[in-house]
Amino acid sequence: MIDVHCHLVYGVDDGSKNIGESIQMLKEAKKAGFTDIILTPHYSYYFHVPAVEISERIEEIKKASRDIGINLYQGNEIYINSTLVDDLNNKRCMTLNNSKYVLFEVPTRNSPYNIDEAVDSILNDGKIPILAHPERYDFVQSNPNWLLDYIKKGVLFQSNYASIIGRYGESAKDTVKKLLTHNMVHFLGSDNHNPNAIYVEMPKILKKLEKLIGNNYLKKLSVDNPQKILNNENIEFVLF
């Protein structure tokens, strides 16, 4: 499996606190079956460590984890803002593995007034927006069809593995089931922030997901589509 969303870089956001925690999470990820991880620290008003500094920390983690055998790539989870594309082009933050894919998030509790502007700016710059964990947003929980117009525009969606076991509440659990069964999810990610968290629950999570959507769709979301991000290839999808 390939994890496209993880807060494993230490000391840059609300994820890993030190390199020891980073290494522990990598060991847990390996045991869970992950071969590759895109590291996506928050880039927002509160967390804005420059991409060059994050790159240096990733190199430290790579050196300290050579015997674990997981491939690591750089990215960001970018909080929606009016300078998003400018920040990307000036390397203040990063696309996923320097590809055309941009992982972004919006406010959890309020429908974002500026999402159309941000999505259009990403698309007009030749990049592909991926909205992180849509099932966690109140406005999606109350109306999952809110996402349809954005799918038609070319926005892709990454749901969190642990939503299926209620990690973010029953509303998120119910919503991710609806999204998955209507082919409205294009990637799954751990969004893991700490040791002894999501990665150690993966056996239970995968069992529930396979029962809900079947092995083929699960593989598409956890291996095939994430690999296309790493290869900077287009992702084809059909709504049903």
Residue 25 scores a pLDDT above 80: yes
- CA pair distance 118, 91, nearest whole angstrom: 17
**pLDDT confidence of residue 101:** 98
Give the domain ranges of the chain: 2-230
Residues 6+ apart with CB under 8 A from 181: 212, 213
| Residue 33 tokens, joined | 């079956």
Q: How confident is the model at residue 46 (pLDDT cuts 50, 70, 90)?
A: confident
Contact 76, 94 (CB under 8 A): yes
Residues 6+ apart with CB under 8 A from 37: 2, 3, 6, 8, 26, 29, 70, 71, 72, 73
Residue 39 scores a pLDDT above 70: yes
Fold designation for 2-230 = TIM Barrel (3.20.20)
Q: For residue range 70-109, what is the model confidence (pLDDT) as tens digits? A: 999 999 999 998 899 999 999 999 999 999 999 999 988 7
Residues in the chain: 240
**pLDDT confidence of residue 108:** 83
Q: For residue range 129-184, what is the model confidence (pLDDT) as tens digits? A: 999 999 999 999 999 999 999 999 999 999 999 999 999 999 999 999 999 999 99
Concatenated DSSP letters for 3-46?
ES-B--STTSSSS--SHHHHHHHHHHHHHHT--EEEE--EESSS
Residue 78 bridge partners (DSSP): 43, 104
| Residue 110 tokens, joined | 């309020």
Contact 10, 21 (CB under 8 A): yes
**pLDDT confidence of residue 238:** 65
Instruction: Look at residues 31, 37, 99, 24 and name the one whose alpha carbon lies nearest to residue 64.
Output: 24
- CA pair distance 35, 223, nearest whole angstrom: 10
Q: How confident is the model at residue 236 (pLDDT cuts 50, 70, 90)?
A: confident
List C-alpha distances in Å: 155 to 59, 189, 213. 31, 16, 22
Specify the DSSP class assigned to residue 80.
P
Residue 240 scores a pLDDT above 70: no
Per-residue pLDDT, averaged over 30-47, amounts to 95
Distance of CA 27 to the CA centre of its chain: 19
pTM over 0.85: yes
- CA pair distance 188, 162, nearest whole angstrom: 10
